[in-house]
Structure 1
Amino acid sequence: MSQRQRLWQRLTEAGIAPGCHQALLDTGRLQPNTLKLSHWVQAETALWLDGQLLPSVPPRRYWAYHKPVGIDCNVRPDDPQSIAALLQQLPPGVFAVGRLDKDSCGLLLLSNDGPFAQRLLHPTQQHQKTYRVDVDKTVTETMLQQLRLGMRYQAGASWIEARPCLATLSAPNQLELTLTEGKNRQIRYMCKQLGLKVTLLQRTHIGQLYLPALSAGQLLELQPQQVILAAQQP
């Protein structure tokens, strides 16, 4: 079956910065100019930039990254604490599949496979991710039940409904949480609503893929079977 992807994904994989995409279409430098960035294109579709044929879709590659605390998943090329510094060392078109906030650590996938990322990140897929959460107080059974049933928490001026999650105790003040959504700083806000302060937040699993034995900041290129695990649900 022929692979397809959005035009913006194809351009990114060719090493063209996302901020330039629309301008290339608007000025006619990218042909055919009847396309829009959101349009699907087949892997074999010929695209021309300034009269030169864009390279074909590169092989799909995947890495596990043990993101340390302090690294920002926002791509800011001039910020040494941005993940951009790491992405610049990898082949063009590689991006972070999702994100972890700056104060969190653990498993983050990097890839140049847009459709794979879409499958993992789209809300309708309810893809599971598991976290180790250390907190400053003893966790009660009542707190666990609130997490398991789905809870309402406050984030700034907004109130947000969280889906039920899997919640177990690893120690009196250590939780293992498995979520099927990834709202901004969700675990920290849920714990705050319960009167708990998060002291460590580490993602340990994506699907069935466990965080490899990597030191913080290390990368591991994944084998095909490991990629399958990342997309698998329990």
Structure 2
Amino acid sequence: MKKRCLLTTAIALILCGITNNAGAKGPIRFGIKAGIQSQSLHASKDEVLGVFSADKDFGYQFGFVARINFPMLYIQPELNYAKHRFTMDMEDGATTKVKVNNIELPILVGWKIAFVRLFAGPVFTLMNDTGNKLKNTSAAINTELAKSLVGYQLGGGVEFGRVNVDMRYGGQFKKPELTVVKGEQQARTYKTSMNQWQLNISYLF
């Protein structure tokens, strides 16, 4: 309940900012964004569970954007809901679909030259939730991904008036931990590497 109240409050504040600044061309602008992403998750093979690298699946994310403009630079904080999806295969043919839902706060610093933008910055994970969908086995498989609280993004994009299109690469400073429980076996925890590519479109009011 507290998480929902926090998210609702944050969205309400951003919507108020968008409403108050709609049509304004000042140094601070607000907008909305959405995009698709391809992510990969790599875990070491285990003698008991036989966990291999998870296959890439497409995810998506959407949220709100604020941009603070300076002569040559800008600061762009965002508030995004992101869904990451992976397909994890076991040695005995068991498969589980892993979904990771995050509330993320990127704070990007960018350089603008004409209509071209380059940017980079940290990404803070505010909330994290992991879900599983089992396939091809009768044994129970539960996974939980403790994603690093601080990651990073870097990339570039172009502007077409109020519309912005960008491509980003993201990763973590600290490797997230993946915990897997299969059947009645003891839980196993892995250090993993997780990265992603994003294609985004945003509209600034």
Answer yes or no: same fold by TM over 0.5: no
TM-score bin, normalised by smaller chain: under 0.3
Pick the structure with more strand per residue: 2
